[in-house]
Structure 1
Amino acid sequence: MAFSPPHTTLEAYIDIPFNIWLSIILIIAYGCAIRNRGLLLLIVLGCSTTIVAFDKTSTVGEMTKTMCLLPLGLGSVLAFLVASRSFQTRFLSAFTTYVNFAVYGNIGMMVATPADGTLRGMCSKVACAALFIWIVQQGRRAGWRTIFLHDDLFVFTSVSKSWIFAHAIYRFVLLTLPCFGSGRRHRLLEVYSLTLTFALSSTSNLPFEYCFGMADTLVVPAVAGWSAIATTFNLIPRDAMKTPNNIGTSADACLGAMSLAVAMFACYKIASAPRRGSRVVNR
């Protein structure tokens, strides 16, 4: 009986060349985020300009999403961080409103992700709706004051540790949907996001949940930007596995059950949250 080499088996699930380079990119991004945010801002703007000028393969929707993540997402956060403290203090309220609109809007819009006739797709919609209500509840309890000033990092305070891990499970299932292609480039997204959150928390001595916003703001644009540049300039082989037909009925049901478990957990946290009173420490 013939056995496939481990490398070949892994390649069926993960785009190894893409993720090796992505790991290097994220290490550089982490170092710049801690020590030289101005340099990272220039890199982001340079990559965004390159993508706009040379990317002829992305659809209008894909290009719009990349620009929202890179210059408008990560770029705006870095621009705020490199500004003077007086500027940050003066415009903190406006920046907080901008961030809240982006965070809550992005999560809410994911409910519209096409299910493509899959059970896990329908269950993901339920999980997304529950997670959206849960994070909005946390923001409302904080009076929508979700950002506080920090010397080095973008600190989003109105998200709990339990929401972060529930969201990680939901997004892992979400990225298996047909509309995301084979998902081989994005399958380690949650590993990167949670690892970078831990690294930023350890470096800054801030609570783990306070660093998730900065970590995800680095990881998701890095994935989108590197994917666009790698495809535009043919830096690595294109992902030939466009249709995830390897996910059968049983796997679809299991992934759907995971999404429903996330939804039920989110509903429990929503129902058990204090109705009134002062803000509690996120857990």
Structure 2
Amino acid sequence: MMQISLPVTEKKRYFSITAGKFGLSDFFDNNAFSHDARSQFMNWSLMANGAWDYPANTRGYVFGAILELGQPTWTLRLATTMVTNTANGAVWDGKISKAHAFTLEYEKRYRIGGQKGTLRVLGYDNAAKMGDYRLAVAQNPAAPDITSTRDYGRNKYGFGINIEQNVNADLGVFAKTSYNDGKTETWAFTEIDRSVSFGAILKGESWHQKDAEIGLAFVGNGISAAHRDYLAHGGYGFIIGDGKLNYAPEMIAEAYYKVNVYQKKFFLSPDYQFVLHPAYNKDRGPVNVFSLRAHVEF
């Protein structure tokens, strides 16, 4: 990865260019309280805005360039990147004029009552050789196959709003909402077309447990009418599909407790997730997910 920064007279004012191979979510859609599954919430809906189908290969990386303009209270960033030639694929599509992605984000930093807060507004447009949900059902209502309808000239666009706010030195809250048009198949992240989430993280100093942390979050996910009709007819995406769909929004609650076991180098986090209508199906679940995360850093 290559980064170029032009010299400026004030540190908080800058223009940078980043080019090469990187994870796009390292630069976009950040949130201090809901972003890193290695140390915070583990559900994918809480790693990033769920309906942002951010371009990446199956390992989470992408080739491209990011232009970033930074000012003391705001930042504007634009990325142009490649996309893969199949959904959740590993091979990059070399027809860049027909297969590419643009991501734009405005980040505003502010203070309320002396406490830091940040608002991020993101928009994106992905072009790829995607399949069309409606066309797949029209071609074969008994057993639609999204992959049989793949063609160039298809786009997926959407937006996300992402807010984080410190309440005091120990408590931080967040809220996110995102949307995509849901006409074409999910290409990179996960099968979510609409998402709303909110939650909080409380540091252990407030109950005299240094370096401990407790988090609680709630998520509501949905899919577009075209997407749900495709699944109801027996279609499969690259993540979900069970031959029949009795649709309902997917509802998730997650809680974790992180403990510093050894010198800020070894952390343990028991985690619990409750999922109602998993994969948008009233006939499935609810599901209880118990996890224990071990995190080591030096």
Q: What TM-score do the two structures reach when normalised by structure 2?
A: 0.23
Q: Which has the higher contact order (CA 8 A, sep 6+)?
A: 1
Structure 1 or 2, whichever has the larger Rg, is: 2
Which structure carries more strand by proportion? Answer: 2
Q: What TM-score do the two structures reach when normalised by structure 1?
A: 0.24
